[in-house]
Amino acid sequence: MKTVLTIAGTDPTGGAGAQADLKTFMAHKVYGMSIITSLVAQNTLGVKDIMDVTPYFLEEQFQCVFEDIYPDAVKIGMVSQPELIHKIVEQLKKYHAKNIVVDPVMVSTSGSRLLADSALEALKSELIPLSCIITPNIPETEVLVNHTIQSKEDMIQAAKEIQQWYQGAILIKGGHFEKRADDLLVINNEVYWLECEHIDNPNTHGTGCTLSSAIASNLALGYDLKTSVEKAKKYITGALKANLNLGHGSGPLNHCWNL
Ligand SMILES: Nc1ncnc2c1ncn2[C@@H]1O[C@H](COP(=O)(O)OP(=O)(O)O)[C@@H](O)[C@H]1O
Ligand SMILES: Cc1ncc(COP(=O)(O)OP(=O)(O)O)c(N)n1
């Protein structure tokens, strides 16, 4: 069985973070593992509180995973502090981790900051360069390029700007636009649009976590990068269309719609 690791924060209601990632791994029939960066008290209504682990405890978790069950792919989500990013980078290099997908989580849909301002530089200059693909949403892309994005042309321009300091693939997710959910994929200067109508479902908690985990699962299964992203887009679209309705806010996805 192929193995995939998530390095992420938690969601006790299971919609986002490591819990959503593990469900996604299961739905792809890969063996899922998790290194926890932060305990996050959150639900479908928002984030109440965050408790980060220490760099030392992160290292212990890395040792447990990498010296026992080596992952075929790694997805990285919420890492809020620069010290934790430094430690993750050190450990990924130490263990020669491969197929690294970075979802540069910055703010939850409910509006809570999940990345400290002081961590942005480490994210850009240390963690992102280790990845084969990054998956920012529109607000995250705006932070990465330092200007607003209002159209598909702006998305292409932003990808070009990011390519000046990052040579891996870029998936800019279009889920924050109102009418369409078209994602822009750039691999080796080739531009692809993954098009989708805007699905009328208010329950979108954890879409970004789920999409990046699906990409990592597909990479572990041996698909090339483009195919991995295309398959992941189909998976997230199905999970949204399955119309689960749980919780009192923006609810979680139906991760097992395909089983
Ligand atoms: N209402 C929607 N209809 C169809 N696809 C959506 C919708 N909302 C999000 N998506 C898709 O879900 C994925 C995650 O996108 P997005 O919500 O922008 O990321 P994040 O959760 O990181 O903010 C993307 O593929 C996006 O196009
Ligand atoms: C622990 C944790 N990680 C990431 C997020 C953000 O999830 P995402 O899939 O980007 O989108 P929303 O859940 O904010 O809709 C999170 N909330 N918690």
List, for residues 214-234, the tens digit of each pLDDT value. 999 999 999 999 999 999 999
Topology of domain 3-241 in CATH is UDP-N-acetylmuramoyl-L-alanine:D-glutamate ligase (3.40.1190)
Contact 23, 236 (CB under 8 A): no
Residue 148 neighbours by CB distance under 10 Å: 11
Quick check: 177 pLDDT over 90? Answer: no
Q: How confident is the model at residue 178 (pLDDT cuts 50, 70, 90)?
A: confident
List, for residues 11-30, the tens digit of each pLDDT value. 999 999 999 999 999 999 99
List, for residues 148-167, the tens digit of each pLDDT value. 999 999 999 999 999 999 99
Q: For residues 89 and 39, what is the distance between their CA atoms, to the nearest angstrom?
A: 20
User: What six digits make up the tokens of 188?
Assistant: 């080796």
Q: For residues 73 and 234, what is the distance between their CA atoms, to the nearest angstrom?
A: 20
| Sheet with strand 169-172: strands edge to edge | 31-36, 3-8, 73-76, 100-102, 133-134, 169-172, 183-187, 190-194
Quick check: 258 pLDDT over 90? Answer: yes
Q: Which residues line ligand 1 (CB under 6 A)?
A: 109, 137, 173-176, 181, 183, 196, 198-199, 201, 204, 207-208, 211, 233, 236-237, 240
Predicted confidence at residue 42, as pLDDT, reads: 96
Cβ-Cβ contacts under 8 Å for 113 (sequence gap 6 or more)? 106, 107
Distance 21 CA to ligand 2 centre (A): 11
List, for residues 49-74, the tens digit of each pLDDT value. 999 999 999 999 999 999 999 999 99
Where are the chain's structural domains?
Answer: 3-241
